[in-house]
Amino acid sequence: MNRRSASPPAVTALGRPPRSASEALGGACALLVLIVSAATGCAVSSYTTAHTLPRGTSTFWVAPQAMRIAVGGAPQTMPFVELGTRYGLRDDIEVGARLGAGLQVDAKIALLRKGAGRKLAIALAPSVGYIGNFSGTPTGSGGDDLHFAGATLPLLISYPIIEGVDVTLGPRLGWLMQVVETSSAATSHTAAVGASASLRWQISRAFAVVPEVSFAMPWLRALTGTGVVTGTGGQRAIQVGIGFILGGAPAAPAANGPAPPPG
């Protein structure tokens, strides 16, 4: 799609021209966080399936990963680690939280559960996230403090390809609000699309490995003093990582079939 504004990325991120080379670099850094956050509130990845945890059980996970971001210039790679936990509130509802690219809380609601004669599982996994006091300069002083709040709505679709191995696809929509702490309190709203693909290998009843690749791409922004800007301008993020899931052992298999893997 075409954009109504031909402003450089730094102007798009902050809603005004940069005052210096240092601030221009800070604006680029802010835009990186904007793109990363817009896909899922605070994180692009999922590291889960459409299966919900059995009631009263929980998991803990750690996921080293790297994100490659393109914002019109040379792509940049950002390594980081996420920590997360999930809890089965009911057999068909799960809640969770993660800390990595900001703080995020989420839920998972089963729409279609694996059962006798049915292998496919589908769930909604809404989430909200926040990143606060992100400085508008690389040194963390002399610039604008940035705050990000976002929400996402992934649809998780899981299918077993062999015993103990599930493939999961996760198309999603996202929204992000960015506030720049200046005298005018500039604010922007961004809508984004994204998706993830993962392969969960349930090695034992209480340990699983989940390699995953995901991407995010903003498609619409509303900026203070600028108006609506459409198109992506080549701005996108690709994330690759591997999650190590501990806990969440399901109940013993029933007589009529095996229990689904934990979420």
The correct answer on CATH 2.40.160.20 for the domain covering 9-247 is yes
pLDDT score, position 247: 92
For the beta carbon of residue 117, count every other beta carbon within 10 angstroms: 6
Count Cα neighbours of 187 within 13 Å in the Cβ-side half-sphere.
5
Measured CA to CA, the distance from residue 59 to residue 108 in angstroms comes to: 14
Flag whether pLDDT at 99 surpasses 50: yes
**What confidence tens digit (pLDDT) does each residue in 111-168 have?**
999 877 789 999 999 999 887 765 444 334 445 577 788 899 999 999 999 999 999 9
Where do the domains of the chain lie?
A: 9-247
Q: How distant, in Å, are the alpha carbons of 12, 98, 216, 258 from that of 61?
A: 35, 9, 22, 24
pLDDT at 233 over 80: no
User: What would the mean pLDDT of 234-250 be, rounded to a whole number?
Assistant: 83
CB-side exposure of 217: number of CA atoms within 13 Å? 15
How far, in whole angstroms, is CA 235 from its chain's centroid? 16
Please tell me the distance from the alpha carbon of residue 14 to that of residue 9, in angstroms, as a whole number. 9
Give the integer Cα–Cα distance in Å for 51 and 258. 13
Percent of all residues in the chain with a pLDDT value above 70, rounded to a whole number: 64
The tens digit of pLDDT for each residue in 162-220 reads: 999 999 999 999 888 887 766 556 788 888 899 999 999 999 989 999 999 998 888 88
What is the predicted pLDDT for the residue at 55?
93
Report pLDDT for 106: 93
The yes-or-no verdict on residue 19 having pLDDT over 70 is no
* Lowest pLDDT segment from 13-17, 71-75, 85-89, 102-106: 13-17
Q: Is 25 helix (H, G, I), strand (E, B) or coil?
A: helix
